[in-house]
Amino acid sequence: MNYPIVRIEFESMKHSLKVALGEHICKLDTDIQDALDKYCSKENMSYLINKEVKQAVDIAVKEEIVRMFQWNSHGRAAIRAEIEKFAEEHFGDLK
């Protein structure tokens, strides 16, 4: 019995895949570059830097305020004086 011989050639399929992948990589590279150019624009970088500086300054100021009133005797004394003044005004002499 004779069986038919089936010959499959993958060369053209390999070439098609290489071309398709190459085109996809080029498109991906272009898209990434466009996204980076847009993100790194002067306006966006200025916005991001200002936002981060503001956040860092806010944190530093808050930390210094907490440090002043928790650990500094003058800060604690100022708070104590205000509390005593408030209590005296609203509740009379508590001593």
> Computed from CA positions of residues 61, 67, 70, 71, in that sequence, does the dihedral angle turn out positive or negative?
negative
- CB contact at 8 A, 72 and 79: no
The CA angle 62-54-76, to the nearest 5 degrees, is: 10
Question: How do residues 48-61 score in pLDDT, each as one tens digit?
Answer: 999 999 999 999 99
pLDDT, tens digit, 9 for 90 and up, residues 30-45: 999 999 999 999 999 9
Find the farthest-apart pair of alpha carbons in the chain and give their distance in angstroms, rounded: 119
pLDDT band at 29 (very low <50, low <70, confident <90, very high): very high
Indicate the pLDDT class of residue 75, thresholds 50, 70 and 90.
confident
Following DSSP, what letter does each residue of the chain receive, concatenated? -PPPP-----HHHHHHHHHHHHHHHHHHHHHHHHHHHHHT-HHHHHHHHHHHHHHHHHHHHHHHHHHHHHH-HHHHHHHHHHHHHHHHHHH----
